[in-house]
Amino acid sequence: EDQVTQSPEALRLQEGESSSLNCSYTVSGLRGLFWYRQDPGKGPEFLFTLYSAGEEKEKERLKATLTKKESFLHITAPKPEDSATYLCAVDQFYFGTGTSLTVIP
Amino acid sequence: NAGVTQTPKFQVLKTGQSMTLQCAQDMNHEYMSWYRQDPGMGLRLIHYSVGAGITDQGEVPNGYNVSRSTTEDFPLRLLSAAPSQTSVYFCASSYRKGAEAFFGQGTRLTVV
């Protein structure tokens, strides 16, 4: 069964404390792995697309990586404004349930 | 550019009522889709369209109808609302199927 699983469900970090979010998938024939950020009461906002194992993309304090079975979203020295729910999706069809990130000043 | 616009933002329906959720995009995107988001379930694809006149079912299509008469608009119709359809609905568009999606602000629907 095709599936996307994100962990942890929730993460609390001190400002400046780096960490990683995980997205594992069992979908065969991956055409694209997407990361989105969602703020409360708003629609998801696109962050990254990864297409092949070994690919990496960066944007400010965020870096996304991809292997054959999972993707990581690395957050370096986070700030309170990085607090949000981070969603991953495979092929824009299968979404994970998200990781709720809280960054404490 | 407004991006993807959804109306209404909030709606309360009685069981058995019908309604249409509106979605419009001004980016000339070919691909449009509807998702529902429920606590602990993530976003689930309801219906999608790869262009005007072409629609297809997603993961959870039962109880919903769509049509795509223009590139810009992709309305979602609830035929006979049920409490199980209480959810937040998001419309999204992409320049092609499988590309990054631009989402609307969502419609919070409650069926009582």
Each residue's pLDDT expressed in tens, for chain A with a length of 105 residues: 668 999 999 999 999 999 999 999 987 778 899 999 999 999 999 999 999 999 999 999 999 999 989 999 999 999 999 999 999 999 888 999 999 999 999
| Residues forming beta bridges with residue B97, ordered by sequence position | none
Tell if the CB–CB gap between A44 and B43 is shorter than 8 Å.
yes
Tell if the CB–CB gap between A87 and B58 is shorter than 8 Å.
no
DSSP A15: T
Contacts of A41 in chain B (CB under 8 A): 105-106
Contacts of B44 in chain A (CB under 8 A): 95
Q: Is the dihedral of CA B91, B95, B96, B102 positive or negative?
A: negative
- B54-81 confidence digits (pLDDT tens): 999 999 999 999 999 999 999 999 999 9
Written as tens digits, the pLDDT of chain B (112 aa) is 789 999 999 999 999 999 999 999 999 999 999 999 998 888 999 999 999 999 999 999 999 999 999 999 999 999 999 999 999 999 999 999 889 999 999 999 999 9
* Angle of CA points A31, A34, A40, to nearest 5°: 150
Tell if the CB–CB gap between A98 and B42 is shorter than 8 Å.
yes
Shortest CA distance from A98: residue in chain B:
B42
| Residues forming beta bridges with residue B76, ordered by sequence position | B21, B66
Tell if the CB–CB gap between A93 and B59 is shorter than 8 Å.
yes
Tell if the CB–CB gap between A92 and B43 is shorter than 8 Å.
no
Cβ within 8 Å of B, A 30-89? 31-32, 34, 36, 41-46, 49, 87, 89
Shortest CA distance from B89: residue in chain A:
A43
Q: Phi first, then psi: what are they for A2, rounded to 5°?
A: -65, 135
Provide the pairing of β-strand B87-94 with B31-38.
Answer: antiparallel
Contacts of A89 in chain B (CB under 8 A): 43
Tell if the CB–CB gap between A97 and B41 is shorter than 8 Å.
yes
Residue environment code for A68-87, b if the CB has 16+ CB neighbours within 10 A, otherwise e: eebbbbebeebeeebbbbbb
